[in-house]
């Protein structure tokens, strides 16, 4: 599951480079309409860039939490196995 979160973060990261292109769009002409449309597209690209970045960060944080939980689980399992073996029991 940790790898899936990292894979998703990587996809968001890949999309982020494409969103930056949108965020830096220039109008095709010097007229008011071209400039106005380009500004709206840049604003949209900027919002998309921010959202993709935040989602990538969230996914990486989730992967880190899962990794930490797995580490704690493995440690607890090892501790309990050792305790059971010391009392003469078996798993």
Average pLDDT of the residues of the chain: 86
Question: Which residue range is the domain that position 54 belongs to?
Answer: 2-86
Q: What total number of domains does the chain contain? A: 1
Q: Is 88 exposed, middle or buried (0-12, 13-18, 19+ CB in 10 A)?
A: exposed
Identify the weakest region by mean pLDDT among 1-5, 20-24, 87-91: 87-91
CATH code: domain of residue 32: 1.10.287
pTM of the model: 0.70
| Domain annotation covers residue 91 | no
Percent of the chain with pLDDT over 70: 82
Q: Are 26 and 41 in contact (CB under 8 A)?
A: no
Residue that has been written with the tokens 């704690």 in this structure: 72
Euclidean distance between CA atoms 19 and 91, whole angstroms: 53
| Domain annotation covers residue 36 | yes
Averaged pLDDT, 5-26: 94
Q: Per residue in 27-55, pLDDT tens?
A: 877 777 788 888 999 999 999 999 999 99
Euclidean distance between CA atoms 91 and 89, whole angstroms: 7
């Amino acid at each position: 599951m940790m790898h899936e979160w990292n894979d998703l973060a990587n996809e968001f990261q890949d999309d982020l480079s494409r969103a930056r292109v949108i965020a830096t769009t220039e109008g095709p002409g010097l007229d008011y309409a071209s400039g106005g449309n380009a500004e709206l597209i840049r604003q949209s690209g900027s919002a998309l860039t921010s959202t993709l970045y935040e989602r990538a960060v969230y996914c990486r944080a989730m992967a880190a939490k899962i990794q930490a939980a797995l580490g704690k689980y493995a440690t607890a399992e090892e501790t309990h196995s050792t305790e059971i073996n010391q009392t003469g029991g078996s798993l």
